[in-house]
A and B are shown apart, each in its own frame.
Chain A
Amino acid sequence: MWSEATQPWLLASGYGEHWGLTQGWPLILLPLAILPWVLHGQMNFPHPALQGLPEDALSAWLDRLWKIALSLLILSLALALTGPYLKSSYVEKVGRGAHVMIVLDRSASMNEPFVKKGDAQAREPKMKVARNVLKTLVAQGHDDLMGMVTFSTSPILAAPLGNDRGYVQAALDATEAGGMGFTAVARGLGMALDYFADQPVTGARAMVLVSDGGAHLDGKTQDMLRAMFMRQQASLYWIYLRSESGVSLKQSLAEGENIDAYPEYALHEYFQTLNVPYRVYEAENPEAVMAAVRDISKLKNKPTRYLEPVSRQDLSQYAYALAWLASVLLLALYGLELKRWQA
């Protein structure tokens, strides 16, 4: 019955929704706070007659202060014991910058060494290059919102779109395990685009596809992807990691060559037909990669509103601080108090 009566009140104050208590039982200690006002156990000196003698305002307030401090100490300690906390929630923030969704290819082909004119010893797998590229990208542009999707045969959400750089960095670090499976570019892009779907268009949206592009898209998938790009108004940046056997996208194919033999070229052709801003960067050397990073970080924006998650916050420290203050006050008053009635 009692809990029924208090429930609406608790709900109105946001209990359970915004804040909570670690444990409830110390609340029964709260009524102890009236003890200083009820009990008269403090040390006092007998006086034959106070009736005709002055009442001093300052003294009366000192006495009241003593009682208030004592009540406060009890209250704050009881509250601190309950362990109040603010629940993890989302705080609306205003940012300037692009919404960048990184789509990283983790297919088996990414384990192959990167094309490089040099000795074989210095050759690095494409994945490592891609990781380095993306780490540079993530480290820059702190106003951007970033997310990451990796894909091989099927897409995996690595980091949702948000302001949390540590999350993305950690997701990138996690890609050190080798790639495997096929290259399902369409599904990866589709999943990444889905993250834009439930958000208002408040700024530039960029998809950064890091892939070697060894995938073929059928006509139906192409149409679907095109429609999604149109709907989400996202621009596409493709950081093309050219494998040893891959072609350069800069040169157009020679007449009469079968476009199906070069899936990356087919993909490039298809992306050009998306009707959204599209750029391709060939990550042949670090300079080219830096150019890509610079271009993306240049994407300035109208102010974007986004929700940033705030972790659960312990409030008991404030109660302890209050208790500390009350104790200091009590100590000071105790120091001021006369221990002996002596002239």
Chain B
Amino acid sequence: MARKQAQAASHMMAISSALPATAEASPLHAAFEPRQFFYNINWRSTSYHAGATLTTHHGNGSDFAGFSSLLACPDPRRIDIRASVRTVPRQWLVRTYLERAAIRVHAIVDVSSSMFFQGQAHLRQQVTEFVSSLAWSAIRQGDAFGMRAANDSPQASLQVLPSFQPGTAQAVARQMTHYWQQAADTRQGQGASAVPAALEAIGPQRSLVFLISDFYWPEALMTQTLKAAQPHDVIPVVLRDQMATEGLPAFGWARLRDMETGEERSWMLRRSLHRQIATHARQQAQALNAQFLKAGTRPPLWLHPGWRAEEVSRHLMETMA
């Protein structure tokens, strides 16, 4: 039994590790390969669409809610004789159940210029993969999937209204691939200032929000975004390219240009500067984690190139707040 499981696991690993190789071969035209991961919700849905999440309203579910009088809830099939016998004065009691309903899962994608950074990881490919896998997983779980993207302005071409439609995942993958190919003019000088607006646009109904970005954001935008994300269950998904801070050339003088602000900086790369940069990057990551913790989101999911659905599932299960 255990051996069988191990075999299955190694098989899955082989599949997932084979993925980045195919992705590198043709980064933008990779065929859609769904990866399903699972998430748990610890809050109750308020919708009425049949789904997997507990709601607060009573109905034909399997989750026991309590007893109520037959007169209040006239369903003779659910009469609980043992409970009725214990009542003083006698009356008929009926077991009531909670309904399960769907939730909305939203992907808020930051498509600012920094996401176009071409390093060792292919960020755009990663985003496409993750978002389509998320759509796939959400719809497989019976939840609605919606998407909004923004740089300095909301991107209408990447907008997906919440829907239960099967095939949304494929559509999203196609849409994103198309977008990355088209978006040549936003490779420079686009920030992510419309992200809070995109968050507000998904409405006040509590939903599961995957905030996908590299979070190289100014402080003000960060605060604003976290404030706008307050009504929702937010899972920050951090995509950062290692090449930006770690895989630096060993020695040499280079001029760098910030893709969003256009700021120029010269770096005489050498051992001491490498150390300094690594320290700063570490501090940045810590500060980011602390910020999310303070804002009450779930702990951020650091998505590395070649991520596996199991890891994402585990993270989502573990961090169910």
Interaction A to B: yes
Most A-side CB within 10 Å, residue of B256, B281, B284: B256
Q: Give the residues in chain A near B254, CB-CB below 8 Å.
A: 44-45, 337-338, 341
**A46 near B117: Cβ-Cβ < 8 Å:** yes
- B101 CB → nearest A CB, Å: 40
Chain A, Cβ-Cβ closest to B256: A47
| Cβ-based interface call for B214 (8 A) | yes
Q: Are A333 and B253 in contact, CB atoms less than 8 angstroms apart? A: yes
- How far is B248's CA from A44's CA once the two chains are assembled, in angstroms? 14
Q: Are A55 and B265 in contact (CB under 8 A)?
A: yes
Considering only residues 19-67 of chain A, those with a C-beta below 8 Å from chain B are 40, 42-56, 58-60, 62-63
Q: Which B residues are CB-close (under 8 A) to A48?
A: 114-115, 117, 214, 216, 240-241, 244, 258-260
A343 sits at the interface (CB 8 A): yes
Q: Is the CB of B257 within 8 A of A47?
A: yes
B64 in the interface (beta carbon within 8 A): no
A199 close to chain B: CB less than 8 A: no
> B246's closest neighbor in chain A, by CB?
A343
In the bound complex, CA of A40 to CA of B114 (Å): 20
Q: B269: which of A55, A60, A338 is its contact (CB, 8 Å)? A: A338
CA distance A55 to B268 in the complex (A): 10
Task: Please tell me if the beta carbons of A40 and B268 are within 8 angstroms of each other in the complex.
Answer: no
B266 touches A63 (CB 8 A): yes
Known: A59-B268, A63-B266. A49 touches B258 (CB 8 A): yes
Does A336 have its Cβ within 8 Å of any Cβ on chain B? yes
**Main DSSP-derived SS at the B contact region:** mixed
Residues of chain B within 8 A of A336, CB atoms compared: 252-253, 268
Contact A343 B250 (CB under 8 A): yes
Please name the residue on chain B nearest to A42 by beta carbon. B255
Residues in B neighbouring A55, C-beta threshold 8 A: 265
Question: Chain A nearest CB: distance from B202 CB in Å?
Answer: 26
Nearest CB on B from A342, distance (A): 6
Chain B interface category by residue count: 35 or more
Q: Are B214 and A341 in contact (CB under 8 A)?
A: no
- A residues in contact with B277, CB < 8 Å: 53-54
Q: Which residue of A lies closest to B123 (CB)?
A: A48
- Interface positions, chain B 251-286, Cβ under 8 Å from A, are 252-261, 263-269, 273, 276-277, 280-281, 283-284
A-side contacts of B248, CB under 8 Å: 343
Q: Is the Cβ of A49 less than 8 Å from the Cβ of B260?
A: yes
* Residue of A40, A43, A50, A51 with highest tally of chain B CB at under 10 A: A50
Alpha-carbon gap, A333 to B277, bound state (A): 23
Q: In the complex the two chains form, what is the Cα distance from A336 to B281 in whole Å?
A: 25
Beta-carbon contact of B264 and A49 below 8 Å: no
Scoring B residues 45 to 74 as 1 if CB is less than 8 Å from chain A, else 0, what string do you get?
000000000000000000000000000000
Q: How far is the CA of A47 from the CA of B249 in the complex (A)?
A: 14
**Minimum C-beta distance from A331 to chain B (A):** 13
Is B296 close to A, CB under 8 A?
no
Most chain A beta carbons < 10 A, residue from B243, B248, B253, B259: B253
Instruction: Report if B22 contacts A (CB, 8 A).
Output: no
Interface assignment of B247: CB less than 8 Å from any CB of chain A: yes
Return the chain A residue nearest B259 by Cβ. Answer: A46
Contact B261 A56 (CB under 8 A): no
Q: Is the CB of B261 within 8 A of A54?
A: no
Among B241, B258, B268, the residue within 8 A (CB) of A56 is B268
B253 touches A47 (CB 8 A): no
Q: How far is the CA of A44 from the CA of B249 in the complex (A)?
A: 14
Judge if B218 is at the interface, Cβ distance under 8 Å. yes
In chain B, positions 205-255 with a C-beta closer than 8 Å to chain A are 214, 216, 218, 240-241, 243-245, 247-250, 252-255
Minimum CB–CB distance from A38 to chain B (whole Å) comes to 13
Closest beta carbon of chain B to A155's beta carbon, Å? 73
What are 19 inter-chain pairs, A to B, with CB distance below 8 A? A44-B256, A44-B257, A45-B254, A46-B118, A46-B256, A47-B259, A49-B214, A50-B258, A52-B284, A53-B277, A56-B267, A56-B268, A59-B266, A62-B253, A62-B266, A333-B253, A337-B254, A338-B253, A343-B248
Chain A residues in the interface with B (C-beta under 8 A): 40, 42-56, 58-60, 62-63, 333, 336-338, 340-343
> Hey, which bits of chain B sit against chain A, CB under 8 A?
114-115, 117-118, 214, 216, 218, 240-241, 243-245, 247-250, 252-261, 263-269, 273, 276-277, 280-281, 283-284
Going nearest first, the 3 A-B pairs with the smallest beta carbon separation are A49-B216, A48-B114, A63-B266
